[in-house]
Every structure is written in structure tokens, then in C-alpha cells.
Structure 1
Amino acid sequence: MKKLFLVAGSLLLTSAAIGQSKDYVTFSANIANGPKEAVITSRGKLVKKLTVNNGVLKDTLKVKEGLYEFHVGEEYTDLYLKNGYDLKLKMDVNQFDESIVYEGSGSPENNFLAQQVLADEKLDFGGLMASNETDFNTKYNEILKTNLAGLEDKKLSTAFVTLQKKQMEMKYGQLKMMYDQTLQTKKMNNTLAPSFDYVNYKGGKSKLEDFRGKYVYIDLWATWCGPCRAEIPFLKDVEKKYHDKNIVFMSISIDKQTDMEKWKKMIKDKELGGVQLFADNDWNSKFVQDFKVTGIPRFILIDPNGKVVNADAPRPSSPELATVFDKLLK
């Protein structure tokens, strides 16, 4: 299942199975091109393993009414389960999201979830995040209105509608928050970059002003950050390619002060180049706070006069970075 943006945990609603003749869910599926086992989970915890024989499975399970995940191989789709449901699924793993169709009791709710995924995949997330504030708000309100309108289907249970409204509030609330953060970051472009005075691996301290006259490409990272470490080989390649150009490659660690020796060891072991600095107060360092950094790695490009070229510059692993550098460092 392709997720456009993160949703903070599934919500579960408990209810008595009023008017239902069974106190369990009957779940069956015809799965083309799938493995011999499937799994149902809830918020990352195993609920039940299901055996698939020649593409067919049928099992029962007792549940609290709410959202679950149905995993087939490396893919998964959301399920809405309630005791008393007799839910039948048809799918082809080779066309996972596009092929999902439900029948039986509980099918309106689960077909709604399947269609939501397809709608999210069609959303031009990059274009939306790159749009100006007026266009974003217009598109954002249209998306929210369209999704809420889909919940007016009278076939959907009241409990499901209530749950989905809460899920949408969180999901689209996250989208709005991400855009607002991006907007604030963009506002730093073409402004004078805030300074710092940080410990330098080679000794003493260094200020941003020490590098005036050169472009400065800053990597905000930490030794514990997996995605940060994954960028290191690409950063080394970029440094090698542009070593004779008017640019300084600077890495600023936001590790805790207690991990300074760990930072020094990694620089030595990984043979990290460029200017290696250690921020004075990890996430709470003023430079980090000024750039409203909420996740790392984060890359910042500053011009020879100390102005911000891009407060959220392309990563070393992005082909876009070479295009940017080639244009600036002619």
C-alpha cells in the first residue's frame, strides 16, 4: 500500500455487536499472485496469521471494531472490521491497490478505504506543496470537502463515519502543518543567514562569517540518524566533484553534548571530509531553531554574502543538486 503521508496511529472504536448474529468476523479472500500466508495487524501488533491455499483463504477472528491492516507479502491495505461481518475480498498482488474489491457485510466501509488509497495516489503532492499559499488553501479545502462528501454515503455505518472523520482531521491536518512549515522555510530564502559559533573537529570554534566569500552547503545531521548516514557516500562524491570550486561543504552535528566523542569517532572512522562542526545545544541550538528544523538530514545552501540561497536544499543523493551547483559555480 502506497502511503502519501503519515497518519498518527490507527484509532479503534469499541462497540457491542448489536443486531449481529455472530461475535466474530468471517474473513475470506481470493488472492491472485500472492504468497501462502497473510497477516492481519493492529497498530503494528500481530492479530492473526492467515493461511492461503491456492490463492484462497477463509478464517474467523474476534475484534474490537475499528481499523486494521491486512498484509500480503510486502504490501498491505487497511481493513475496517467489526464482529458480525462476513467480508469477502478479491485482489491481485501484482496490481495491489487497483485490484481490491470487497463483497458481503462490511464491504461499503472497506471499499471506501480502498478507493481512498487510489484517490490519494492521484494527488499531486509535490505540486500541492510547491504551490503558493492561496492556491494551496483552495486545493486543500477542495480535497477535504471531496473526502468528507464521500462519507455521506448512507451505506456506511455511523461508527465508521465518525472514525474516518477523525482520521481525515489528522491526515489532512498533518498535510497543512507540513505546508505551513515549508512556507516558513521558504521565507528564509534571500535573507541573511543566522550565525553560529560551533566546536570544530579540527580544533577551536568556527563561525559562519569565517566562510564569507564562498558558498556554504550545510548538512544538519546526527550520528544516530540512519537517513543521515545514508547520504554520506553521496556527500563524499559531491565534495570530490566540486572540490576546486568556490564552495565549502559543512556538516553540523546536532548530537547531544554527551555524544561528542561518538561524533569524533565517526568522523575518523568514516573519514568524513569538509568542515565538521558540533552544535552547542542539539535540536535546541539557535541556528537549528531559526531554520525551523523538525527532521534530519536537512541541507541548507548559503551564498558568499551570507544570504540563504535555499533553506531546504536538495540532498546529495538528488540529481537536482548537481543542476543547482553547476548553475551557481560556473
Structure 2
Amino acid sequence: MKQKLIFFIAIAICFSSCENKEKNQSVILKGSIQNSNDSVLIFYYSDKSDTVFLSGKNDFRFVLDLKMPVYGYFRINKKTINVFLSPGDSLELKADANRLEEITFSGIGADENKCLSQLSEERTKQEINYEEWFSLDEKQFVFKSDSAYKAQLIFLENLQHKFNNLNPFFTKTEKARIFYTYAESRIAYERSQVFSANSKQKLSPAFYSFQKEINLNDSTMVFIPEYQIFLKTYLDKKVYEQEKNYETMNDLIGAEFDIILSEIKQQQIKNYLLHSVFRDHLQFNGLEGAKDLLALYEKHTTNKKNKDEISSLVKKWQQLLPGNSAPEIALQDELGKIHSLKDFKGKYVFIDFWATWCYPCRREIPHLAKLHKEYSGKNIVFISISIDKQKEAWEQMLKIEKMPWLQLHTTPDAKLLQDYQIYSIPRFVLIDKEGKIVNAQAPAPSEKKLRDMLDMAL
């Protein structure tokens, strides 16, 4: 009987222990947000996101299952609220979207988030003025950067005294965030001196003393922005040190892949860098010549979500390959008249995506004007599509620039920009008489290659 009693007590303890362990992994994040323009609230953390609806009283409640501490954030009225959460936390926040600097935290985990809020405010005050710092000689720059680094560490230490028993992961990560901001500025300074026409200084060995503290394989930092920025800057530095002339962007990205695969051993960080580099490359440069890079990416990355995103990008670019039907366009001109691609069937169409605030775009206007004049009377229509957020700015610019070809307007968030994969401007597209893509990344009007392309087509 005694043995049975001991057995049942042991089972009860086991169940209790398992239950407590499960509870400790659950995190409650709740609160209220006044004056939000949105009815839903999305919390982003690690590579995940959770969504809830705001109640009629603007209340919300998330229940998250966490196995380790995480940093996350909300986007409210295009502003960001950063949050730190650890297994077992029950955090409540109250905020007014119009006065986010007055946010309050309470409950388990409140101290870390009060601390995080003050650290974020201090970082904003101490933000690096790169233009000023990079104009300094080595001694002056080192003094500036070391002083800023030490000041932020002291600020963090003072907060540790103010808030007792802060989560050790939190304090370790905050120190690392400060360090990698400092380390990134060192590498960026070195690069600025290499490219500066006025700089002839050779940096001393002491300048690189920070490198011994760098850890390229710290998986706990993989979702921390300061670490991510540092890794990308470090990658740029390593590519430059190879002292090679890359004929194409694909060659350059291939070199970055080689460095990642040789120096990064931790799979999560490898996944992040491969994805970040290749996604940016696809967005801005498309599929041309990227077949080998795609195969290399798929072979070495293990993150399914990342692979799915790349697969989606590839499909979108495939729709813009030569011979495919061009996505429809139906936009208003400055007089309010709607123009569609269908209106120009039987003619070639050259499209210029631009904005008034884009200097490289405006630099192309005289070349486009010359092109328009040269090909006047030929079987081609020239269209400029502004993506200015403020339509008034576009209308005012039309009065200044006097562009006698068709002018249309859309907005930066329009589906049209997704259809044509517009991630940067200026961007040029050539469409044939049947409304099919000739080149979704046509040469600029200032390039002779465009005239050769048009002469061949017309």
C-alpha cells in the first residue's frame, strides 16, 4: 500500500511538473490601444506573426507559446512598439497611438519593457551621424565611437541597477545590440575611407581590436536588427577584400554566397543571410542569369517559409518574362481621363516608372524627351507613371518639367507595382504591339542599348 501511495504521489508530481512547464512556456500579452486606425493588431516575433482583432473598447489579448525569450513588435498607425517577452510572462500594455512615447507596461515582464523603451529612446538620441563621423581621421573617429559605445553601456548598467532582477537573456542581448552597432560603424568607417577620394590614411592594427569579440554564429541574435545589419556590412567588407571585378550582379551575389557558405556554420544565420541576399537580388534584378544561384539557394537553405517566399518571387518574375502578356494598366492622367494598355494595342509601349522625389528619375527626363522627339511619328507610345504619394506634387512637377508625352499617376501601395515587381525607381518596361512583354527591365533612355532595342523592334 505504501509503495502504491509513493507511486501515485510521483505520478502527481510528474503531471504537476509537466503542467507547470507547459504554463511557463505560455505568454499572455494583453492591453489596450486607443486611437488606432486599424481594427486588427499583428504581433511580429522571430519569423512568425500572430493576429487578433481589437475589441470595441480597443482591447486585445494574445496567448503565445514560447520556448525561449523573443523580441517582437507591433505596427500601429505606421509607428512601431517594440516588446520583449519571455516564457511565463503576463504583460499588459496601454498606449495611445497618437502618443506612443507615453506607453505604460505592467505585469510580469514589465521591467524589461520599461527598460527597453528607455534604451530605444536613448539610442534615438545617440544615433550615429555617419556623414560627420566618416569625415574624421582615425583618431577622432575612434574617440567618438568609443565614447558613444561606453556611454550606452553605462546607460544600460544604470538601468540594471534601477530595475532589479532583469532577465539575463535581455541584458546579454542589449549589450550585444550596443556592441554590434559599434562594430558595424567601425567596418562602415573602414569602407568609407577606402572609397573616399580625399582619404590616404591607412588604419592602424589597433583599429581592428573589436573584431576579437565578433561572433558570426550566435543563433540567439539572428532576429536582432543590429546583428543583422552588422552581418550584411561584414559580408560587403569580405566581398570587397577579394579585390575582384564582377561583370554582373549574379557574379557578385555568387561571391557573397561563397563567403556565407564558407564562414557561417550556424544554420539559422546561414538561412537568414542566404535569404536576405538572394531575395533582395531577385526583387531588384529579376531572374536573368539567376538559375545557378537559385539552385544553390535551394540546396543550402532549410527554412520552408523563406523558400516559399523565394518561390513566390520567382513565379512573379516568370510572369514578366518576354512573350508573356503585360499586366493591365488603367490609370488617370492629370485631367482625370483613364488610359488603359488596351488603348494602345497595335503600338509598342515604353513605360517609365518614376517619382518627383527621385533624382535619378528626373535625371532621365531630358533623355526621355529627346527619345520621344526622335521617335515621333513611329509606332510607339511613351508613358510616364508617377508613384508619388502626394498627387499634388506630381501635378506641380508636370508644370515645371513640361513633358509632352502621356503622364499617368498611381500610388506607392498600388497593386500595379506588385504586378510589375517595382522595388526601385526609375524602372523602364517595353511592351510590344500585342500587349506582350519585350523587356520588363528595359535600358534607361540615357543608354544607347535602348535605341538599339527600339530600332530593332520598330
Query: Which position in structure 2 is the counterpart of 1:308?
Result: 437
Cα drift, residue 69 of structure 1:
4.7
> C-alpha separation between the residues in 1 aligned to 2:352 and 2:395?
16
Point out the structure with the larger strand share. 1
> C-alpha separation between the residues in 2 aligned to 1:125 and 1:172?
21
Give the secondary structure class of the aligned counterpart of 1:277. Answer: strand
| Counterpart code for 1:284 | D
Query: Which position in structure 2 is the counterpart of 1:118?
Result: 240
Matches within 5 A, 1:31-110: 42=128, 44=130, 46=132, 50=136, 61=143, 62-63=146-147, 64=149, 65=179, 66-67=182-183, 69=185, 76-78=189-191, 100=202, 102-104=204-206, 106=208, 109=211
Give the secondary structure class of the aligned counterpart of 2:376. Answer: coil
Q: From 206, 210, 220, give the equivalent of 2:339.
A: 206
Query: Which position in structure 2 is the counterpart of 1:225?
Result: 358
* Higher RCO by CA contacts (8 Å cutoff, separation 6 or greater): 1
Residue 298 of structure 1 pairs with residue 435 of structure 2: no
Give the secondary structure class of the aligned counterpart of 2:326. Answer: coil
Asked if the contact 2:328/2:340 (under 8 Å) is kept, the reply is: yes
Residue deviations 1:150-186, cap 9 Å, x none? xxxxxxxxxxxx9xx97x8776544211233213435
Cα drift, residue 294 of structure 1:
1.5
Same amino acid, percent of matched pairs: 30
| Counterpart code for 1:217 | F
Cα drift, residue 104 of structure 1:
4.5
Query: Unmatched 5+ residue regions in structure 2?
Result: 1-126, 150-178, 213-233, 288-313
Change (3 A) 1:105 1:314: closer
Asked if the contact 1:186/1:311 (under 8 Å) is kept, the reply is: no
Give the secondary structure class of the aligned counterpart of 1:217. Answer: strand
Q: From 241, 265, 268, give the equivalent of 2:399.
A: 268
> C-alpha separation between the residues in 2 aligned to 1:191 and 1:220?
20
Give the secondary structure class of the aligned counterpart of 2:183. Answer: strand
Change (3 A) 1:324 1:268: same
Cα drift, residue 299 of structure 1:
1.0
> C-alpha separation between the residues in 1 aligned to 2:186 and 2:259?
26
> C-alpha separation between the residues in 1 aligned to 2:403 and 2:342?
22
Give the secondary structure class of the aligned counterpart of 2:205. Answer: strand
Query: Which position in structure 1 is the counterpart of 2:250?
Result: 128
Residue 248 of structure 1 pairs with residue 364 of structure 2: no
Asked if the contact 1:221/1:296 (under 8 Å) is kept, the reply is: yes
| Counterpart code for 1:146 | S
Query: Which position in structure 2 is the counterpart of 1:4?
Result: none
Query: Which position in structure 2 is the counterpart of 1:179?
Result: 281
Cα drift, residue 94 of structure 1:
6.6
| Counterpart code for 1:44 | Y
Give the secondary structure class of the aligned counterpart of 1:252. Answer: strand
TM-score, normalised to structure 2's length? 0.45
Cα drift, residue 305 of structure 1:
0.1
Q: From 242, 251, 262, give the equivalent of 1:146.
A: 262
Cα drift, residue 121 of structure 1:
5.1
> C-alpha separation between the residues in 1 aligned to 2:196 and 2:395?
47
| Counterpart code for 1:228 | C
Change (3 A) 1:278 1:127: closer
Q: Which moved more, 1:117-126 or 1:179-188?
A: 117-126
Change (3 A) 1:260 1:285: same
When Rg is computed on C-alpha atoms for both structures, the one with the higher figure is: 2
> C-alpha separation between the residues in 1 aligned to 2:135 and 2:337?
58
| Counterpart code for 1:241 | E
Change (3 A) 1:51 1:173: same
Q: From 443, 450, 457, give the equivalent of 1:321.
A: 450
Give the secondary structure class of the aligned counterpart of 1:316. Answer: coil
Query: Unmatched 5+ residue regions in structure 1?
Result: 1-40, 80-88, 131-135, 150-161
| Counterpart code for 1:317 | S
| Counterpart code for 2:130 | G
TM-score, normalised to structure 1's length? 0.60
Asked if the contact 2:238/2:259 (under 8 Å) is kept, the reply is: no
Cα drift, residue 116 of structure 1:
2.0
> C-alpha separation between the residues in 2 aligned to 1:264 and 1:142?
48
Change (3 A) 1:45 1:108: closer
Change (3 A) 1:292 1:104: closer
Query: Which position in structure 1 is the counterpart of 2:330?
Result: 197
Change (3 A) 1:202 1:120: farther
| Counterpart code for 1:236 | A
Cα drift, residue 106 of structure 1:
3.5
Q: Which moved more, 1:210-219 or 1:139-148?
A: 139-148
> C-alpha separation between the residues in 2 aligned to 1:140 and 1:51?
30
Cα drift, residue 203 of structure 1:
5.2
> C-alpha separation between the residues in 1 aligned to 2:399 and 2:134?
47
Residue deviations 1:28-52, cap 9 Å, x none? xxxxxxxxxxxxx946275597569
Change (3 A) 1:120 1:298: farther
Cα drift, residue 208 of structure 1:
0.5
Point out the structure with the larger helix share. 2
Number of equivalent positions: 245
